[in-house]
């Protein structure tokens, strides 16, 4: 039992590490701003408080990485969660995949997404007065990570479909998240990626319907008597 569980938990911790790595490009500017605010206000132990802020943020995303791995294993129990392909090598194109991509696209285009993005980029980094000690700095980083999770909910849903640790998917999602969080017009960038996700979701739905139709035709033909059987009857 232990030997069978070890590879799964190793993969879960790998997912946590890669999730943190994906957030670093968009988190670095916020961390630099946090440290600059501390130094500008001449707050004692500014470096320690900035490090505590980073630990809080990283901890949130590490837990999200493990959680996404477990969700992936639940939604795709017979597939390889790290590559976005099934055991037969075919891409994930089932109903759950199409639904997740469509929901992600709708969220990206919504006003809710724009509000979460503005909240994450403009109001999450606290003023120095809000972090009187290292523990409060850790809590601010933890809270900042929570805000960013809401902002990144849609891209993370797409990553579930593409593969949690598929290199190409990770690079694409990282670029999208970084662009919308540090770009000059993040909500517009989010809407563009949302439209792309909606289009991809519709294509996936069409494929699911087409494959289901083919299976229905095959099943009907299997149960239909052949011409020779009807002649003998």
State pLDDT tens for residues 58-114: 999 999 999 888 888 776 665 555 555 443 334 566 777 888 899 999 999 999 999
Closest CA to 143 of 60, 64, 222: 60
Coil, strand or helix: which one is 133? coil
Residue 228 within a domain: no
Closest CA to 101 of 173, 167, 171: 173
Q: What is the pLDDT of residue 131?
A: 57
- Which residues are within 8 A (CB) of 230 and not within 5 positions of it... i.e. 6 or more apart? none
Closest CA to 177 of 147, 202, 156, 200: 156
How many residues belong to the chain? 233
Cα–chain-centroid distance for residue 123?
22
Structure tokens at 131: 């972090």
Alpha carbons 53 and 121: distance in angstroms, whole number: 16
Domain span holding position 62: 2-220
Among 4-8, 30-34, 141-145, the range scoring the smallest mean pLDDT is 4-8
Structure tokens at 60: 């949130």
Asked whether the beta carbons of 84 and 92 are under 8 A apart, the reply is yes
Structure tokens at 15: 């997912």
Number of domains, the chain: 1
Closest CA to 135 of 43, 52, 37: 52
List Cα–Cα distances, 11 to 3, 145, 197, 212, in angstroms: 13, 22, 27, 33
Task: Compute the average pLDDT of residues 123-148.
Answer: 74
Confidence band of 10 (pLDDT split at 50, 70, 90): confident
User: What is the percent of the chain with per-residue pLDDT over 70, rounded to a whole number?
Assistant: 73
Evaluate if residue 206 carries a pLDDT over 90.
no
59 vs 36, more confident:
59
Residue 231 within a domain: no
Closest CA to 54 of 144, 123, 132: 144
Q: What is the pLDDT of residue 167?
A: 87
Structure tokens at 143: 């809270």
Q: Give start and end residues of each alpha helix (H) in the chain.
A: 2-40, 46-75, 95-108, 111-118, 134-151, 153-162, 167-182, 186-223, 227-232
Evaluate if residue 147 carries a pLDDT over 80.
yes
Give me the chain's average pLDDT, please: 79
Asked whether the beta carbons of 68 and 160 are under 8 A apart, the reply is yes
């Amino acid at each position: 039992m232990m030997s069978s569980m070890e590879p799964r938990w190793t993969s879960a911790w790998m997912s946590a590490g890669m999730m943190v790595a994906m957030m670093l490009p968009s988190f670095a500017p916020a961390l630099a701003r946090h440290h600059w605010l501390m130094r500008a206000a001449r707050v004692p132990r500014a470096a320690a408080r900035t490090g505590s802020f980073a630990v809080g943020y990283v901890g949130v995303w590490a837990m999200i990485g493990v959680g996404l791995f477990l969700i992936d294993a639940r939604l795709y129990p017979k597939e390889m969660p790290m590559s976005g392909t099934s055991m037969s090598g075919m891409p994930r194109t089932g109903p759950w995949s199409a639904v997740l991509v469509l929901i992600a696209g709708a969220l990206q285009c919504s006003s809710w997404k724009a509000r979460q993005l503005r909240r994450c980029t403009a109001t999450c980094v606290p003023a120095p007065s809000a972090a009187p000690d290292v523990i409060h700095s850790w809590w601010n980083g933890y809270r900042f990570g929570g805000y960013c999770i809401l902002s990144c909910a849609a891209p993370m849903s797409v990553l579930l479909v593409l593969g949690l640790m598929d290199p190409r998917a990770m690079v694409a999602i990282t670029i999208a998240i970084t662009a919308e969080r540090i770009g000059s017009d993040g909500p517009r960038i989010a809407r563009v990626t949302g439209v792309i996700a909606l289009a991809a979701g519709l294509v996936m739905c069409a494929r699911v319907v087409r494959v289901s139709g083919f299976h229905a035709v095959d099943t009907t033909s299997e149960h239909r008597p052949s011409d020779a059987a009807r002649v003998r009857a």
